[in-house]
Amino acid sequence: MSTSPLFTERLILRPWPSADVAAAASGGRRPGWAPDFPADGDRVVAGLLAAAPDPAAARGHRQIVERSTGLVVGSIGLFLPPTDGAVEFGYGVVPSRRDRGYATEAARAIVAFALAEPDVRTVRAGVEPANAASVRVLEKAGLSRLGTDGETDRYGTA
């Protein structure tokens, strides 16, 4: 799986630079971040990346960069390796950049990227049913509801 940046109309999905991982994991700030980045989920991802013994584990995780400003406004990631042809993803956009379609744009790009890999047949994500905005993101990214465990609805491409 490539670690090259992914480009969309308004975003760049780039691998996390090591300095950003260290800063986010330790609660620091870096130039080039939106004022409300990193959110709690971004800090969790950075902590996982910082603790990963194998640098290849980071290859599916990317920062969401707003092309018009160059600011990091969220993150999105594939949880690799695939299991039985399926890979899960998660995402988050900071509050100051929500309601602009960035999550949908990033999700479409990461889903297409994942499905282009020979060992991936489906892409999945989980969402709390009450999170209507995230449900819309997944549906607009081409995922359909597969079921629920009562707390989390499961979505997938197939």
Residue-by-residue pLDDT tens, the chain, 158 positions: 678 999 999 999 999 999 999 999 999 999 999 999 999 999 999 999 998 877 666 778 999 999 999 999 999 999 988 999 999 999 999 999 999 999 999 999 999 999 999 999 999 999 999 999 999 999 999 999 999 998 999 999 97
- Distance between start and end Cα atoms, the chain: 21
d(CA 113, CA 129): 26
* Sign for the pseudo-dihedral over CA of 51, 67, 4, 76: positive
d(CA 156, CA 25): 30
Domain 6-156 CATH assignment equals 3.40.630.30: yes
